[in-house]
Structure 1
Amino acid sequence: MLEALGVTEFAEVVYRALLASPGRTAPALARQLDRSERAARRAVAELEELGLVSRLPGRPVRLTAARPDTAIDLLVARRRTELDTVARDARALAAEVAERGQQPDELLEILVGQQAVADRFTQLVRGCERELMVFDRPPYAADGPRSEEDVSTRLREHLAVRGLYAPESLEYPGALAAARRAVEHGEQSRMHPRVPMKLAIADRRVALLPLVLEDMVASALVIRPCALLDALVALFELLWEQGTPLIPEPDGDAPSDPGLLALLAAGVKDETIARELGVSTRTVTRRVGELLDELGARTRFQAGALAQRRGWLAR
């Protein structure tokens, strides 16, 4: 119920538990909910920041939940203020564009042809000066995934690169190894099971994306500063926050297989997982079964998602 207001799933579970039994300590909540004390304290800190939980006087620290109607009204008011700010910014941007007299054909450019799209991507990467944000998913305008050589060269020149990979992009032969080499060069890489399209954004000033989603290599749209570009940047940031690290750092409470967890969270196929981990598909199936039991998950993707929510995949 509270997810739309920025409350994570487990934090809401903790909030409901405190509504039912006020005065609990964080360790008592952890025991009641069968979770680690660290996870319980993390959820309590989140709820305190949002004003949903407060501390009672005395020691040990006991917690109480704010009344749902009052607390949620405050969260709704805060979110409404944030949306009003975004709306004001959008109106100001529209006024700025109108004042500069920019025409639509100055903000948008259509590319036709697979080679033209590939060439413009290379041009976009080489012209980027500070930050490159990429949604990586097939099909590709070239013979394989995006040019690692171009990106890694720019990385050596201190360009900040963030790549969000679709599971399908890692199924190409050598794609996962190439992505890991990009990480070694300095790229921040995450995976997401629902990367909606191909996208590259350079310096938050120009974006390249498919013109037609059904055929993502035959034509593309170049977008310069406008409200649409702002929306694409916001979409990237949203999915980036939801993504899991390509090479995770295991949490202290996590099992000793963070690589498998990250691949599960991204929805990567068993064959790709087995190739990446250097084991047989049968071994992957066995390990996945063990993780499902440990997490109490019904599906593989749910196992990865639960592991991420528990903090087992550090970002």
Structure 2
Amino acid sequence: MLGVLGLDPDEERLYRCLVAGGGTPDDIAARSGVPRATELLDALVARGLAVAGPHGTLTAAPPAIALGALLRRQRDHLHAAELALLALAEEHARTGPGPGSVVEVLTDVAAVRHRFAQVQLAARHDVRSLVVPGLAVVPHKDNSAGDDGLRRGVRYRVIVDRASLAEPGLVQLAAASIAEGEQIRVVDRTPVKMIIADGRVAMLPLLSGRHTEPASLLVHPSGLLDALIALFESLWEHAYPLWTDEGAELEPLDRRVLTLLLAGLTDQAIAGQLDTSLRTVQRRIHALMQRAGAETRIQLGWHAARKGWA
């Protein structure tokens, strides 16, 4: 845990031992079980993390002071690196990409996964994404960079192909993402798998219709990138939101059942996605129809749209 502050695992173990109670180097070595404990303890003293006392005893320097100093130093280094990065980004923006550098081609699976994460980790403001069914190179559950972006306050807007909602576990993942602040909308069909970060870079498949293959394009600022952004915004305007439970007239489960029903899922598929029984889903739909005064599910959809239920 303290490795980010420059302590290796053995040094951290010794320091935690000191915090729990000081003693002679031999005592601490026996309690910690760390090899070369005496040598490492000398290093902790030299770095101000341990304090030598009478009779050769050692105690821990106060963590708030000792580790706080290391933390401030790391923050200073990170701030300096951030300023250098911004300067490079501004220089790159001034010079602009040449005709041959507007598009990068990536074919290696590891390189594609790395760049996909890198694009999101570098995002400062917003990420726009089109999701197709059957993602294979970076499945939804493996997109830890997206989770990191949400925690950093990056705005995520995602358009999902309706067929994706039938994939096992996707609705639960979507619900968790929505709870973290992600905005998700649904369309009948997303034309391409794509991600756009800060309006500065886009990533999409190299070959048409090959969504499950790794070969990808990385598109830098250009007329092509402008067209991709316009495509996303046009789809976003006409897509319908996946549920949000805030301020809804309906109970959360009813809202989710209704949303998936309107997305075209069968009752059985809805039950599977929401981890409930088919009978519960059918009972909820019947209750919603009664509440809306609807005799058919089509009428229920019309009423739901008029009332803003989904």
Higher mean alpha-carbon deviation, 249-258 vs 174-183, is at: 249-258
Mapped pair 1:150 → 2:182: no
Query: Which residue of structure 2 aligns with residue 226 of structure 1?
Result: 222
Mapped pair 1:267 → 2:264: yes
Cα RMSD (Å): 3.4
Distance 1:111 1:230 in 2: 21
Report the TM-score when normalising by structure 1: 0.57
Which amino acid counterpart does residue 267 of structure 1 have in structure 2? G
Mapped pair 1:136 → 2:123: no
Mapped pair 1:110 → 2:98: no
Q: Residues 8-87 of structure 1: matches in 2 within 5 Å?
A: none
Whether the aligned pair in 2 keeps the contact of 1:244 and 1:266 (CA below 8 Å) is no
Whether the aligned pair in 2 keeps the contact of 1:139 and 1:217 (CA below 8 Å) is yes
Query: Which residue of structure 2 aligns with residue 192 of structure 1?
Result: 187
Whether the aligned pair in 2 keeps the contact of 1:166 and 1:266 (CA below 8 Å) is no
How far did 1:122 drift?
1.0
Structure 1: gaps of 5 or more residues: 1-98
Q: 1:183 aligns with which of 175, 178, 182?
A: 178
Which amino acid counterpart does residue 185 of structure 1 have in structure 2? E
Distance 1:195 1:295 in 2: 33
Structure showing greater radius of gyration is: 2
How far did 1:152 drift?
1.5
Query: Which residue of structure 1 aligns with residue 244 of structure 2?
Result: 248
How far did 1:268 drift?
3.3
Q: Residues 230-309 of structure 1: matches in 2 within 5 Å?
A: 230-249=226-245, 252=249, 257-285=254-282, 288=285, 304=301, 306-307=302-303, 309=305
Q: Residues 197-208 of structure 1: matches in 2 within 5 Å?
A: 197-208=192-203
Query: Which residue of structure 2 aligns with residue 217 of structure 1?
Result: 212
SS at match of 1:310: helix
1:94-144 residue CA offsets vs partner (Å, 9 max, x unmatched)? xxxxx9785432111122243332222111111111100111223324363
Distance 1:179 1:244 in 2: 14
Distance 2:251 2:208 in 1: 38
Distance 1:239 1:313 in 2: 21
Number of paired residues? 214
How far did 1:181 drift?
1.3
Distance 2:103 2:296 in 1: 45
1:43-93 residue CA offsets vs partner (Å, 9 max, x unmatched)? xxxxxxxxxxxxxxxxxxxxxxxxxxxxxxxxxxxxxxxxxxxxxxxxxxx
SS at match of 2:191: coil
Which amino acid counterpart does residue 235 of structure 2 have in structure 1? L
SS at match of 1:267: coil
Distance 2:262 2:281 in 1: 14
How far did 1:207 drift?
0.5
Distance 1:117 1:229 in 2: 19
How far did 1:148 drift?
4.0
Distance 1:176 1:268 in 2: 12
Which amino acid counterpart does residue 135 of structure 2 have in structure 1? Y
Whether the aligned pair in 2 keeps the contact of 1:247 and 1:259 (CA below 8 Å) is yes
SS at match of 2:135: coil
Report the TM-score when normalising by structure 2: 0.58
How far did 1:289 drift?
6.6
Whether the aligned pair in 1 keeps the contact of 2:161 and 2:189 (CA below 8 Å) is yes
Query: In the superposition, relative to structure 1, how do residues 101 and 153 fare at CA in structure 2: closer, same or farther (>3 Å)?
Result: closer
How far did 1:233 drift?
1.4
Query: In the superposition, relative to structure 1, how do residues 126 and 100 fare at CA in structure 2: closer, same or farther (>3 Å)?
Result: closer
